[in-house]
Homo-oligomer: A and B are copies of this chain.
Amino acid sequence: MADFPAFSVTADLVVLTVQGNELRVLLVRRGIEPYRGAWALPGGFVLPDEDLDAAAVRELREETGLTAPVGHLEQLASYGAPGRDPRGRVVTVAYLALLPHLPAPVAGSDAEGAAWVALPPGELAFDHARILADGVERARAKLEYSPLATAFCPPEFTITELREVYETVWDARLDPRNFHRKVTGTPGFVEPVGRSIAAERGRPAQLFRRGPARLLHPPMLRPTP
């Protein structure tokens, strides 16, 4: 392998969450050149003896303090155009993480500052705008045929909370009655906890947790406007 050693490899993260009718992404402000002071996706170099997935998990933990297996993490795509990093030849393996909104502040970050930024953000370093767009599009598409919307919710949630996730990520309004029928009627999507929770107003709602299904048959369809 001494013939082609000229690559560095990073694992960068598109970490999305839903809070207050907004889809937000975790960004860090770069403390060093290049792009010093600019927003960028969190991430870092894959260690010499580390698997790609392990690097992504490590970066996610470092940036969010997450240790418990909550939310969802999957590989997104890889980006390796020459010149995308002015320092040299860098291939970035991007990962997509979907998390419930964390009440605790973003801790343990070694970057200058980390923040949840509403979409769309401003300018991003490197080709991170493209990576972010790919991640958001992946998330939007996956809500259709997978139960991943539950990754944006806490362990126990109401149907209304789940619907608000869909409405926020898709930027669309869904009929509460049809949504309720669809979700509770799809086997394995959600399972009733058996308890209810009172909201600020109105009738208390049943609590659910995510079910065992990995795929939705038939899928949730985005409204055609």
Give A contacts to B, CB under 8 Å.
Answer: 1-9, 45-46, 48-52, 75, 77-82, 85, 87-91, 93, 145, 217-219, 221, 224
**Are A48 and B5 in contact (CB-based, < 8 A)?**
no
**Are A51 and B6 in contact (CB-based, < 8 A)?**
no
Q: A91-B52, A91-B93 are in contact. Are A80 and B46 (CB under 8 A)?
A: yes
Q: Which residues of B contact A81 (CB under 8 A)?
A: 51-52
Min CB distance A49 to B, Å, is 5
**Are B51 and A89 in contact (CB-based, < 8 A)?**
no
Min CB distance A165 to B, Å, is 21
How far apart sit A91 and B217, CA to CA, in the bound complex (Å)? 35
Min CB distance A111 to B, Å, is 17
**Are A91 and B9 in contact (CB-based, < 8 A)?**
yes
Specify the chain B residue showing the minimal Cβ separation from A51: B81
Q: Can you spell out 28 A-B residue pairs with CB atoms less than 8 angstroms apart?
A: A1-B87, A1-B88, A1-B89, A1-B90, A3-B8, A4-B8, A4-B9, A4-B48, A5-B6, A5-B7, A5-B8, A6-B48, A7-B8, A7-B9, A7-B46, A7-B91, A9-B9, A9-B80, A9-B91, A51-B81, A51-B82, A52-B78, A52-B80, A75-B78, A80-B93, A145-B145, A218-B221, A219-B219
Specify the chain B residue showing the minimal Cβ separation from A52: B80
**Are A78 and B93 in contact (CB-based, < 8 A)?**
yes
A8, A87, A218, A224, most chain B CB atoms within 10 A: A8
How far apart sit A145 and B78, CA to CA, in the bound complex (Å)? 23
Min CB distance A186 to B, Å, is 14
Q: Which residues of B contact A87 (CB under 8 A)?
A: 1
Choose among B7, B50, B79 the residue that contacts A82 (Cβ–Cβ < 8 A): B50
Q: Which residues of B contact A3 (CB under 8 A)?
A: 8, 45
How far apart sit A3 and B45, CA to CA, in the bound complex (Å)? 9
Q: Which residues of B contact A2 (CB under 8 A)?
A: 88
Given contacts A7-B46, A52-B80, A217-B224, 17 further A-B contacts (CB under 8 A): A1-B87, A3-B8, A4-B8, A4-B46, A4-B48, A5-B6, A7-B91, A46-B80, A48-B89, A50-B82, A51-B81, A51-B82, A78-B78, A80-B93, A91-B91, A91-B93, A219-B219
